[in-house]
């Protein structure tokens, strides 16, 4: 994305603000009071802006952390206005600032809307850049190659390829988010973007025009750079996203949607090897071998041996979906000999690539990729007798999907690794989200991230939850693990959906429940003659589903995890949020099992110290979909009877917004009646 410079009120970019003197600690309070006050500059710039005490106090705390180069964990309830609370001090006194978000949607919103608004209001002379992972930018070389060899993965690809080719001639950023005519998840993007492994780098004939390099250069020069968590941690692990060059000069790092960090960091600090990586390599070896060294080998035969070994490895698990730790795999399983066969087959292909690599740069690239895969496979072994350095403990596990098998090595704790990243240059680190604490206790998040001794503060939502909503837990529901539980939830939900006039999110904890709920509600709506449009996760992309739900005004949307957070539907279009059960992590999760085992060896209760806090933070995210501004009204229907029957239920109640509470359907139906 080109460096952001369209806001009319922005002054020309100044010299590096990191070199300018920041306000001394504590001296910014009066300035923040002025900026966020009734007569301050934010009022005219932001429609509907009015001073909020929690927002002003949060901004002071962040400015203080910036001035003192300290770490701050900041939880701000929905409606506090946390984005402006961190942007104002960051743009005024943050120096070189990296803002990292949990989603690309929020990343785009910050860059295109929020930062320009604040920058114009403050007349702050800062330059801003957007940096995404390389898979978001069209690659000139790979687009040309795909047009020449015509390897399409679906019929739609031909039309999509034409659109991308046209887009390339008009775009200055190459960011695929700008090309809405081609779905973000279309397979064609894999053929027209680069990866770390297949990028030609400075050897590429299009290097001067490369959108990835252009974005990185702009990020180097900008005062404020907007990234996302995946990019940030991929860089820490792979040094391939441009963030590594930014970090040494950054004065302030802000993580928004920080509750996602433990999962994202775990993903990138671990190591994953997949049979699909092998098949992709085989596809490229065949193409490059035939293009540049047709006489060098029987390329079809070379890759077929490896492809068969990769597919045979997947077939050692007959089930569609499997999650299993390495010690759980029976020693007699066919998995172990199949893994050795794949290693041998890959070595055989590498021997051929060794001999032919000098004939073309692209063949050499395939060889390097193959060596990396072979090293990952060799390193994937667990010796229970081996001594492990404290902080380097890992879980080895496999995950099978319909057509691929992944082998994971996941760190037991990311805290030591992340702390290592935070050492060195003094700077401020801000972690913010609406959901970081369990009943005002930050211990769970801070221990996961290695932030135990850092300052943690919480600011409540300005919403009047007791007046604006009801928390309803139905009576007489069966145990959530019982057969037919989803139907029992729907039996309770149907009269409430009718009373709400549709306008409902049904949030499920499993895809199986989404599917069953969609089948049942489709039938019920038709049988009862209810004209509530039904939107189901998977039928269309998430953004399209949400847009159509908002437009419908009386829709019912059924979704699982991806709809529990980052979704903002204001006004009457969403008046009822139904949660089918408490979002506990699946019991077959090998990483969770290993973490709990370690906790219990330390004398802790794994459920109370890990599983329950995780579920509460997820539940708070789901509940946060309901009330999005001061005029919203609605009902949160929590269907899990364990909230009432289990001793830990009280801890869950106390972590949710202070809605009025009821167990009577009649109270809820009365709430929806027109006044």
Residue 146 lies in a domain: yes
* Same domain as 444, residue 362: no
List all residues 6 or more positions away from 530 whose beta carbon is below 8 Å from its beta carbon. Answer: 498, 502, 524
Q: What is the model's pLDDT at position 523?
A: 96
The model's pTM is: 0.86
Task: Compute how many other C-beta atoms are within 10 angstroms of the C-beta atom of residue 602.
Answer: 8
Q: What is the model's pLDDT at position 12?
A: 28
CA distance 638 to 581: 7
Beta strands per DSSP E along 213-360: 224-228, 252-255, 271-274, 322-325
How do 405-411 and 556-559 pair as beta strands? unpaired
Token pair of 482, please?
Answer: 């019982």
* Same domain as 216, residue 204: no
* Same domain as 253, residue 111: yes
Q: Of 208, 231, 254, which residue is a domain's last?
A: 208
Token pair of 93, please?
Answer: 């006194």
Q: Which is nearest to 79 in space by CA: 577, 626, 578, 559?
A: 626
Token pair of 668, please?
Answer: 């809820």
Residue 2 lies in a domain: no
* Same domain as 115, residue 83: yes
Residue 6 lies in a domain: no
Residue 14 lies in a domain: no
* Radius of gyration of the chain, Cα coordinates, nearest whole angstrom: 27
Question: What CATH number has the domain bearing residue 429?
Answer: 3.40.50.300
User: Terminus-to-terminus CA distance in the chain, angstroms?
Assistant: 49
Token pair of 157, please?
Answer: 């690809």
Query: 139 vs 142, 145, 214, CA distance in Å?
Result: 5, 10, 12
- For 361, phi then psi, to 5°, come to -60, -35
Buried b (16+ CB within 10 A) or exposed e, 145-156: bbeeeeeeeeee
3-state secondary structure of 369: helix
* Same domain as 492, residue 606: yes
* Same domain as 51, residue 157: no
* Same domain as 664, residue 529: yes
Beta strands per DSSP E along 533-616: 534-536, 556-559, 576-579
Q: What is the model's pLDDT at position 243?
A: 64
CB 554 within 8 A of CB 579: no
* Same domain as 328, residue 287: yes
List all residues 6 or more positions away from 227 whose beta carbon is below 8 Å from its beta carbon. Answer: 98, 99, 100, 101, 107, 131, 132, 241, 243
List all residues 6 or more positions away from 303 whose beta carbon is below 8 Å from its beta carbon. Answer: 282, 283, 285, 286, 349
List all residues 6 or more positions away from 439 whose beta carbon is below 8 Å from its beta carbon. Answer: 651, 654, 655
Which strands form 534-536's sheet, in the order they lie side by side?
534-536, 556-559, 504-507, 576-579, 634-638, 469-472, 660-662
* Same domain as 665, residue 556: yes
Q: Of 459, 484, 517, which residue is a domain's last?
A: 459
**DSSP-assigned letters across all residues of 126-142:** --EEE---GGGB--HHH
Signed CA dihedral, 411, 413, 415, 416: sign only: negative
CB 257 within 8 A of CB 78: no
* Overall number of domains in the chain: 4
Task: Compute how many other C-beta atoms are within 10 angstroms of the C-beta atom of residue 559.
Answer: 24
Beta strands per DSSP E along 125-222: 128-130
| CA max distance for the chain | 82
Give the DSSP H or E segment for 539: none
Residue 570 lies in a domain: yes
- 10 Å CB burial of residue 144 (0-12, 13-18, 19+) is middle
Question: What CATH number has the domain bearing residue 362?
Answer: 1.10.275
Where in the sequence is the domain holding 193, given as residue range(s)?
Answer: 138-208
CA distance 164 to 322: 37
CB 432 within 8 A of CB 258: yes
Q: Of 459, 474, 489, which residue is a domain's last?
A: 459
CB 349 within 8 A of CB 299: no
CA distance 570 to 296: 63
Q: Checking phi first, is residue 484 left (phi over 0); if not, alpha (psi -120 to 50) or beta?
A: left
Q: Which is nearest to 335 in space by CA: 322, 351, 349, 348?
A: 322
Q: Which is nearest to 527 in space by CA: 562, 563, 490, 558?
A: 490
Token pair of 261, please?
Answer: 């960090």
List all residues 6 or more positions away from 199 whose beta carbon is below 8 Å from its beta carbon. Answer: 134, 139, 212
**DSSP-assigned letters across all residues of 464-501:** -HHHHEEEE--SS---TTSTTHHHHHHHHHHHHHHHHT
* Same domain as 642, residue 619: yes
Task: Compute how many other C-beta atoms are within 10 angstroms of the C-beta atom of residue 598.
Answer: 15
* Same domain as 318, residue 176: no
Token pair of 24, please?
Answer: 């001394």
**DSSP-assigned letters across all residues of 14-26:** -S-GGGSPPPPTT
Query: 670 vs 288, 464, 570, 635, CA distance in Å?
Result: 69, 19, 22, 11
Residue 294 lies in a domain: yes
The CA-based angle 631-637-642, given to 5 degrees, is 140
Q: Tell me the average confidence (pLDDT) per consecutive run of 10 residues in the chain, 675 residues long.
A: 34 34 67 92 82 95 95 95 96 95 88 94 94 92 86 78 93 90 85 85 90 91 93 71 72 96 89 91 92 92 96 89 87 93 96 92 91 91 73 86 91 88 88 93 94 95 94 95 95 97 95 95 96 92 87 95 85 94 88 88 91 94 91 95 94 92 96 85
How do 504-507 and 394-400 pair as beta strands? unpaired
* Same domain as 431, residue 405: no
């Amino acid at each position: 994305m080109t460096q952001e410079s369209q806001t009319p009120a922005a002054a020309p970019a100044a010299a590096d603000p990191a070199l300018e003197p920041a306000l001394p600690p504590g001296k910014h309070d009066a300035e923040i009071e002025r900026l966020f006050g009734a007569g301050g500059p934010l009022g005219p710039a932001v429609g509907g802006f009015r001073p909020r005490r929690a927002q002003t106090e949060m901004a002071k705390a962040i400015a203080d952390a910036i001035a003192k180069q300290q770490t701050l964990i900041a939880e701000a309830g929905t409606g506090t206005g946390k984005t402006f609370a961190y942007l104002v001090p960051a743009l005024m006194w943050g120096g070189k600032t990296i803002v990292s978000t949990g989603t690309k949607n929020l990343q785009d919103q910050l860059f295109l809307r929020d930062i320009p608004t604040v920058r114009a209001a403050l007349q702050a002379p800062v330059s801003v850049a957007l940096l995404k992972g390389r898979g978001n930018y069209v690659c000139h070389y790979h687009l040309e190659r795909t047009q020449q060899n015509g390897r399409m993965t679906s019929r739609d690809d031909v039309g999509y390829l034409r659109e991308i080719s046209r887009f390339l001639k008009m775009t200055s950023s190459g960011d695929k988010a700008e090309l809405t005519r081609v779905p973000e998840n279309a397979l064609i993007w894999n053929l027209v973007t680069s990866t770390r492994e297949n990028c030609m780098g400075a050897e590429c004939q299009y290097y001067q025009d490369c959108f990835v390099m252009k974005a990185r250069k702009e990020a180097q020069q900008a005062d404020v750079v907007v990234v996302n968590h995946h990019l940030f941690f991929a860089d820490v692990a792979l040094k391939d996203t441009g963030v590594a060059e930014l970090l040494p000069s950054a004065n302030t790092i802000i993580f928004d949607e920080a509750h996602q960090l433990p999962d994202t960091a775990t993903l990138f600090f671990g190591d994953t090897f997949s049979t699909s990586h092998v098949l992709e390599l085989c596809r490229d070896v065949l193409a490059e071998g035939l293009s540049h060294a047709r006489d060098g080998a029987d390329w079809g035969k070379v890759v077929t041996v490896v492809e068969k070994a990769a597919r045979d490895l997947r077939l050692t698990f007959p089930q569609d979906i499997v999650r299993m730790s390495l010690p759980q795999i029976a020693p007699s399983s066919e998995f172990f000999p199949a893994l050795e066969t794949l290693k041998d087959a890959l070595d055989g292909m590498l021997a051929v690539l060794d001999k032919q690599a000098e004939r073309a740069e692209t063949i050499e690239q395939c060889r390097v990729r193959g060596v990396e895969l072979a090293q990952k496979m060799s390193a994937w072994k667990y010796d229970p007798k081996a001594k492990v350095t404290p902080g380097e403990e890992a879980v080895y596990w496999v995950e099978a999907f319909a057509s691929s098998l992944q082998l994971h090595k996941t760190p037991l704790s990311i805290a030591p690794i992340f702390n290592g990243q935070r050492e060195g240059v003094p700077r401020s680190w801000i972690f913010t989200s609406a959901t970081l604490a369990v009943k005002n206790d930050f211990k769970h998040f801070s221990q996961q991230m290695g932030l135990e001794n850092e300052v943690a503060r919480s600011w409540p939502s300005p919403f009047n939850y007791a007046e604006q909503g009801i928390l309803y837990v139905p009576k007489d529901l069966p145990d959530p693990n019982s057969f037919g539980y989803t139907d029992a939830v729907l039996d309770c939900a149907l009269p409430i959906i009718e009373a709400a006039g549709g306008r409902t999110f049904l949030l499920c904890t499993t895809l199986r429940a989404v599917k069953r709920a969609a089948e049942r509600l489709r039938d019920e709506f038709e049988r009862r003659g209810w004209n509530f449009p039904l939107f189901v996760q998977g039928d269309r992309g998430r953004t399209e589903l949400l847009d159509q739900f908002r437009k419908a005004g009386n829709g019912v949307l059924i979704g699982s995890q991806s709809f529990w957070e980052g979704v903002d539907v204001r006004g009457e279009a969403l008046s009822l949020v139904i949660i089918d059960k408490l979002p506990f992590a699946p019991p077959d999760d090998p990483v969770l099992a290993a973490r709990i085992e370690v906790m219990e060896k330390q004398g802790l209760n794994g459920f109370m110290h890990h599983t329950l806090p995780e579920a509460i933070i997820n539940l708070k995210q789901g509940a946060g979909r309901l009330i999005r501004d001061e005029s919203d009204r609605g009902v949160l229907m929590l269907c899990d009877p364990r909230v009432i029957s289990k001793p830990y239920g009280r801890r869950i109640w106390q972590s949710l917004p202070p809605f009025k509470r009821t167990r009577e359907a009649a109270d809820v139906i009365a709430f929806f009646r027109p006044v």
